[in-house]
Homo-oligomer: A and B are copies of this chain.
Amino acid sequence: MARSFEPYDAESFRALGRALVDRLADYLTTCDEAEPGPDSSLPVLAVTAPAELEAAWSATLSAAPEGPPAERALALLDALLEHSNHLHHPGYVGHQIAPPLPTAALFELVGSLLNNGMAVYEMGQLQTVLERRCLEWFAERLGFPESSGGLMTSGGSLGNLTALLAARQAQTGNWDVGSHGEPPLAVMVSADSHYCIARAVQVMGWGAEGVVKVPVDADHRMRTELLPELHDAATAKGRRVIAVVASSCSTATGAFDDLEAIADFCSARELWLHVDGAHGASHALSEKHRDVLRGIERADSVVWDAHKLALVPALITAVLFRDARHAARTFAQEASYLFEDDMAAYDVGHRTLECTKRGLGTTLYAALHAHGTQVFTDNVDRLVDLAQAFAELLERSADFELAVSPRTNIVCFRHVPTGFEGDLDPLQERLRRAVVDSGAFYLVQTRLAEGQFLRTTLMNPRTSIEVLEALLGTLRASAAAELRID
């Protein structure tokens, strides 16, 4: 009855799928066997100038290309494997994004093929239920009550915006803000907060003074003792502060703000407490390292990126509300939420900026369900333990300086070669460039008040202290070459 459509052909898919899985499996083996260092069989990143890739892929997409589709697809796969940043390589210690569990990646294939868009329950029945299961599970880890609830959305930036929209709704009681001459709004946030908070404020149109930056202490934590006077000053300048955003943790150094102190302040002043736990909320999975989150159960909202410390691919972000009703109210354009029927909780398009949405919860659920949650707990423990061991190694090394004692898997440090008396900042930049260009490791850098630092995030459970010793050796060798010390 139906006409055929060759690109849907099941047997072509089976053949290409198997070939593609085989190459990806071989790739994982290569990553597994890679010895980080200058002689690695696989560079972490084969740095290639944009112009070179632009030239190689400049041909206009053709209407009827030559060769069978499967062959063309596999050639593209090979190019992607060659030019990607290899997160599964033990020498990957760069940005805070997970080397995903292969099982999770496979469920992205499943989810993408089924393409159930989830805005309404009928467009993703089990996907909706599994998302709720993940949210409940994580809310429990946070110590949230049963009356809590949330949503999943496409990334931490969108998650933080969504939480601040909920705060605006809850604090002003009125989504129709900005048009009736009320005082302009503001949030208070640590000077080290992620740029997406300022971006969310910009999106909402509160202007530059919509962000009240609270200075940080020597450990890069918000100086919470300044909150009352900064709040008073903002109020005196005509701003209505509606929320404090705590960083758990900050991106640059991994510093965790004092949630108890901030919660006390928010309580006293009747402000919304939002915790940007994009990176650090995963510590709730660990018994050993969860003390950095003490007080998180008092937050009104928490954002968590599962694609950072929970071994799943981007973007899988949860926004949790201590009071589930906020999840339903954020985007309510009328009072219709007051009259919600039983199905409204399952039609998730009401709760997210997205209308059609990927089945984010399905991928996370699949990983947790298949491997068990202990794997995720162990991973947090292992990576944070490793960061602390790395910090000790750095402290024992006279020619390295640690920026701040790590509480999570982020370690910032700089190399001070023996006898070196030049400018340390450009040296770090040159060292980082040389090491990354060599393909031996992938690390990043960050600019702190104290100067330019090398920055590592230990994302890969296969990275060991020996790998990090090799990193220091490579940095020393690069510095020696750079400074012509030999």
Classify the interface of chain A: helix, strand, loop or mixed. helix
Contacts of A123 in B (CB 8 A): 85, 94-95, 97
Closest 9 CB pairs of A and B: A179-B207, A17-B21, A178-B205, A108-B112, A14-B25, A154-B154, A13-B102, A2-B90, A109-B109
Judging by beta carbons under 8 Å apart, are A106 and B109 in contact?
yes
> Can you spell out 28 A-B residue pairs with CB atoms less than 8 angstroms apart?
A2-B34, A2-B36, A4-B32, A8-B99, A13-B21, A14-B22, A16-B102, A17-B24, A54-B132, A57-B133, A62-B373, A63-B374, A73-B106, A76-B107, A76-B369, A79-B126, A80-B362, A83-B126, A84-B114, A84-B125, A117-B314, A156-B355, A158-B158, A175-B202, A177-B205, A177-B207, A196-B355, A198-B333
Is A129 a contact partner of B57 (Cβ separation < 8 A)? Answer: yes
Q: Are A25 and B17 in contact, CB atoms less than 8 angstroms apart? A: yes
User: Across the interface, do B25 and A13 meet the contact criterion of CB distance under 8 Å?
Assistant: yes
CB neighbours of A54 from chain B (8 A)? 129, 132
Interface centre among A4, A12, A98, A113 (most CB of B within 10 A): A113
Determine, out of A43-51, A406-414, A446-454, the stretch whose residues face the partner at the interface.
A43-51
The answer for the CA separation of A63 and B371 in the assembled complex, in Å, is: 8
Known: A57-B126, A84-B125, A103-B69. A18 touches B18 (CB 8 A): yes
Task: Please classify how large the interface on chain A is, using the bins under 10, 10 to 19, 20 to 34, 35 or more.
Answer: 35 or more
In whole Å, how far is A171's beta carbon from the nearest beta carbon of chain B? 13
Bound CA–CA A462/B1 (angstroms): 9
Max chain B Cβ within 10 angstroms of own Cβ: one of A29, A121, A129, A132? A129
A214 to chain B: closest CB distance in Å? 19
Residues of chain B lying within 8 A (CB to CB) of residue A121: 50
